[in-house]
Structure 1
């Protein structure tokens, strides 16, 4: 094993560590994926997690500057097929290996930027935000799952989009108090915690359930290497929605 291979293995382990530290649900789901694709999904989640931390956690830092630099480093890593940032090195390997569409990455960064200057999300703005923050992540993972099978990718694309959207909306409901009072963001701008509108809440939950139902049909068609892991993540989020 040469030194580049050792560094690549180190990079992959860093992405795995971030995933396991930050999320229980995805850690379990990824662990149940086939070993040959597991590290690629870790690399995608590690990348996404770092960007999330910039906009959600480092309140005493210049977030705009940090996100801009992270974005520049990401594209440089992809183009040069290397980065001294182990998380980006791991991510670029997956992007280049599966030829993940850079439009998905660009949409993701646009949504991260939205969190820096938008505090009250209208319905239309929220739709664009969810596409970039969650749906494209599902599409990146689907690119790995289908591994060059473009016919299967496009057959399952809408299902992956709905699953990503449902997961994100469930996260919004789970974190609504923190988002509202700490981050000063309202993703569901018609849902006021002080005067809870049960009708509006039911509308949101019904919408999520419809998305989950549609997504499940796609999960059933996934390659066997991915099906169990994604289904377990689905079950976790479904139970979280019920809670």
Structure 2
């Protein structure tokens, strides 16, 4: 079992590094004993996201139903023949991650298979399940047995996850609309054109959430502070780039931050966290 578990975490690590250079950089900045668990969470989230976003031409609803059943069975028995689920289940059990977070996440993934746009109530539910609970899963790992710290950081962790997700919505407007027939701006559907005003309204939420999140990042354990702060700086840089653009510009292609810029942000984070003592 030790060899199987080690291999399972290595597979989740490979998935993380293959799909996201930004998150990989952030995780590499964590103290070593945090890394496997976060790889385990990311691998699980990534696999579910792939089912609903890229497995076109297949029965995605059935695949998602099977994935939920596999997840529930693995959580019940403590083992899975799917290495990504195995790494995730080991993480859930070790850090006592609330099953409610997992159910909320899977529900949001299922919503993506039937919804092309979201009204305000559904939109908030979707963001909670698709992003905020992922941040809370990670926070369980960061805080370990310190329940008091976890409870203090729940609100800023949710704000960070929400801000990240909304930046993704803005960045991916073109692919979401053209490839997936989805619109992730509240109150906007195919009968209402996405315009710069609706973009600015969403940006106001993001700015508020970034401010709230930063106060929480300052209180994180030292071993994860640099990694989370680096991810924060990356998304903040991406957001500022998007903010200068109009909707018509976003519809031309995906906004990116270059790898040299990512490295520079990591170095900036290193200076501010370890030399200037971000508090």
TM-score band by shorter chain is: over 0.9
Give the number of the structure with larger relative contact order, counting CA–CA contacts within 8 Å between residues 6 or more apart: 1
What is the RMSD of the two structures over their aligned residues, measured on CA atoms? 1.3
State the partner residue of 1:56. Answer: 53
Counterpart-to-counterpart distance in 2, 1:191 and 1:82: 42
What stretches of structure 2 of length at least 5 have no aligned partner? Answer: 242-279
Deviation per CA, 1:46-92, whole angstroms, max 9, x where unpaired? 00000000000111111111111111111211221111100000000
Structure 1 runs (4+) deviating above 4 angstroms are none
Counterpart-to-counterpart distance in 2, 1:171 and 1:69: 27
Counterpart-to-counterpart distance in 1, 2:166 and 2:222: 27
**Alpha-carbon deviation of 1:122?**
1.3
The structure 1 residue matched to 2:109, chosen from 91, 108, 112, is: 112
Please show how residues 174-213 of structure 1 align to structure 2 within 5 Å.
174-188=171-185, 189-190=187-188, 197-213=195-211
Contact 1:19 1:26 in 2 (8 A): yes
1:142 paired with 2:139, answer: yes
Greater shift in the superposed pair: 35-44 or 201-210 = 201-210
State the partner residue of 1:217. Answer: 215
Residues 1:181 and 1:141: Cα distance change in structure 2 (over 3 Å): same
Counterpart-to-counterpart distance in 2, 1:197 and 1:191: 12
State the partner residue of 1:102. Answer: 99
What stretches of structure 1 of length at least 5 have no aligned partner? Answer: none
- Give the TM-score, by structure 2 length: 0.83
**Alpha-carbon deviation of 1:205?**
0.9
State the partner residue of 2:74. Answer: 77
